[in-house]
Amino acid sequence: MKTLNIIKYVFSLIGLGMLVGAYFLYSNTASFLEQAVTAEGEVVELVRSRSSDSVSYYPVVVFQDDDGRQVEFKSNTGSNPPSYNRGERVSVLYETSNPEGARINGFFSLWGGAVIVGVLGLVFATVGGGMVLAGVLKRRSRDYLKHKGVQIHATLQGVERNTGLKVNGRSPYRIVCQWQHPQTSEIHVFHSDNLWFDPTDHIQGDTVPVLVDETNLKRYWVDTSFLPQLAS
């Protein structure tokens, strides 16, 4: 349980950090474009760069600045297969105060970093934030049921593993119980919150207390306060 809490907050912080980073990359490029001038360059080399599981090719471009000086730079974005060929003519953007910081005038060369970091940040923030929000909503619902819910006693069906969730290779336990509505005769099945220990030996009797919202029986909480607390 503690590991799960760490994961959701770490994911949220990483996501927010990457979104902030994406914003700064976007702002940096926007500021660069406001001052940049255009020149024509030529791809003279493709630098091969290997990571742990892939290879990318980064174009090296030569162009002439306004002072007639030949400037060479390596693009900060690479791809596989290469996006450019040796000898290919490309449009170049550069600041006259810093020609060596030139960039190829292409969407990915200009905005690729911000897009990649932003998308990754959005994924991390969505996963982590969703986990945090789900926890907050669950606590609010539980508090509501504690104050305004109606207690029923559902028949114990057993204890199961929630295999849809795994942390460090372990799945939590859930208490399963059911109750038949006295007016409609409908059977309602209830699952407890995830438990990180086997509660079987600590359940006394054949019924389990459940707090329900009478207007919406899908809103419920299996009261496991009778169980011992897991040592931290």
Where in the chain are the domains? 2-117, 149-222
pLDDT digits (tens, 9 = 90+) for 139-198: 999 999 999 999 999 999 999 999 998 888 889 999 999 999 999 999 999 999 999 999
pLDDT, residue 63, reads: 97
CA 149 to chain CA centroid, Å, is: 34
**Residues contacting residue 89 through CB under 8 Å, at least 6 positions apart:** 40, 41, 42
Share of the chain above pLDDT 70, in %: 98
> 45-74, pLDDT tens digit by residue?
999 998 777 899 999 999 999 989 999 999
Mean pLDDT estimate for the chain = 93
Please tell me the predicted confidence (pLDDT) of residue 1.
Answer: 57
**pLDDT value at residue 169:** 86
Q: In what order do the strands lie in the sheet with 187-191?
A: 187-191, 173-180, 150-161, 207-213, 216-222
pLDDT for the residue numbered 53:
79
